[in-house]
Amino acid sequence: MANRSPTLPALLSLVIPGLGQLSLGHRERGGLILLMMLLFIGLLLWLQLSPLYWLILLPFWAMNVFDAYVLASERRPDTTTLFLLGALPLYVMAWQATDINLQRLFSNVNKVQPLLSGLFQPLFLEQDREIAIASQQFYVPCPVTETPEVSTASAGGTIETSVTCGNVGETMTLRGEGFPANQQVALWWVNPVNANSRIRIQDAYEDFPVGADGSFEGEIVIPEAIPRQSDQPPDRHRIEVRYVASEGGWFITETAIRVLGHMGETIAQALMATLVGAILAAPFSFFGARNLMAGNPGLVLLYYFSRGVMNILRSVEPLIMAIVFVVWVGLGPFAGVLALVVHTIAALGKLYSESIESIDEGPIEAIRSTGANQFQIIAYGVLPQVLPPWIAFTVYRWDINVRMSTIIGFVGGGGIGFLLAQWIRLQDFRSAGAAIWAIAVVVILLDYLSAKVRERIM
């Protein structure tokens, strides 16, 4: 080997990656290099990337040649650099497969501004305000034979549009006078069945600023507020301008009360799921511990069955389980509890069984030598050793279940997540911000509590 020229293995790896390493007897190394290169080529063909992306294989290919040369020279190879260069093509292809576009991250920042604004202005407290409304009727489409009605707000504001009828998608000018100076007014469109929706201004739900003289003017687009047939007469809609006429003291909002109530429901969901899941996970953990199930073909079979069940249950996300249980038992927290129970059994069962496998075998052998049966061994040799870590795992799982239950609510599993999903769909971002802050505070407190409990136990 010492007299062998390093050139030949390098040339072999140049022709077929990993072949030089295989010729030198480094079968695992050469086989892994060849497998990685075949994987990269397969991914490039599958993703149908341009020929330019094939150049990302060159650094790894070149390093593979150099690696074969170094191995043939009986020097220590640079394994870290080799496999870092091997990871590079994977990340480049993953970048393309996931459609990452950093330009959109900055160019579309205006779309997330309402949500961020609601997050920093959560609707926990609100000032007592008198909301005034000025409105004008509007017909879709033209022509119309009646004159639209105009209403003046109690605070004196009036509005008018440049046209009194139009088609969906057309632009018109909205003017207002007599409003409080230097204030923001909200524009709403009310369809014939009295359904309210915000009016978009340049693809965003923004308020109109009122000038120092109490007037404003801007362009709005006529929305498709209600489906209609082409042969039906024009529909009568209403444009409303809502603004603050007077302000009073502060009070706790109904949103805050609902958030607190549903947050309590979320904590209760997690508590029930953790308790029931821990009780049902305990027997699985004994069956899934290799050191307790060895020596008997029946026990070994039971071990593999228990491990298989736990692995299958852990592989299914609680969100998917929640959808199944919502169909099964209906909307509400009960479906969320069932989904969390199933996942908790699998997660805690695995943690419990691993803690059993890591116990000290000395007490077990001592108890077994006295002629004790399997149940006595578990009661006096296993449980005293595993109860402290079990309690720590269970408290930590409660913390996890609180966070999971917020997501389960998005598919109808009850709790604070159900409210949060509704508010996001309705674009009530201030209420959504209140829910997000409540979730964050509760998770932080529970994380601190679970850490303290685990610290005391362990």
Please report the beta strands in 206-362, taking only residues with DSSP state E, as ranges in sequence order.
Answer: 208-209, 216-221, 235-252
Give the CATH fold of the 125-252 domain: Immunoglobulin-like (2.60.40)
Looking at residue 4, what is its pLDDT? 62
CATH node for 254-457: 1.10.3720.10
* CA distance to 168, 171, 174, 231, 442, per residue, from 235 (Å): 12, 18, 19, 12, 48
Residue among 43, 33, 36 at smallest CA distance from 96: 43
Looking at residue 337, what is its pLDDT? 93
Q: What angle do CA 413, 418, 423 make, to 5 degrees?
A: 165
Q: How many residues does the chain have?
A: 458
* CA distance to 180, 201, 402, per residue, from 319 (Å): 49, 36, 13
The tens place of each residue's pLDDT in the chain, 458 residues long, gives 445 678 999 999 999 999 999 999 999 999 999 999 999 999 889 888 888 888 999 999 999 999 999 999 988 999 999 989 989 998 988 888 888 888 888 888 888 888 888 888 898 888 887 888 888 889 888 876 666 676 666 667 889 888 888 888 888 899 999 888 888 888 899 988 888 888 876 666 678 889 999 899 888 888 887 787 777 888 889 999 988 877 778 888 899 999 999 999 999 999 999 999 999 999 888 888 888 787 778 888 988 998 898 889 888 888 899 999 999 998 889 999 999 999 999 999 999 999 998 888 888 788 878 888 778 888 888 888 888 889 888 988 988 999 898 889 888 888 898 889 888 888 888 999 999 999 999 988 888 887 787 777 76
Residue among 329, 310, 146, 308 at smallest CA distance from 234: 146
Residue 374 to residue 371: CA distance in whole angstroms: 10
Looking at residue 259, what is its pLDDT? 92
Instruction: Look up the pTM and report it.
Output: 0.65
Residue spans per domain, the chain: 7-97, 125-252, 254-457
89 touches 64 (CB < 8 A) = no
Looking at residue 39, what is its pLDDT? 92
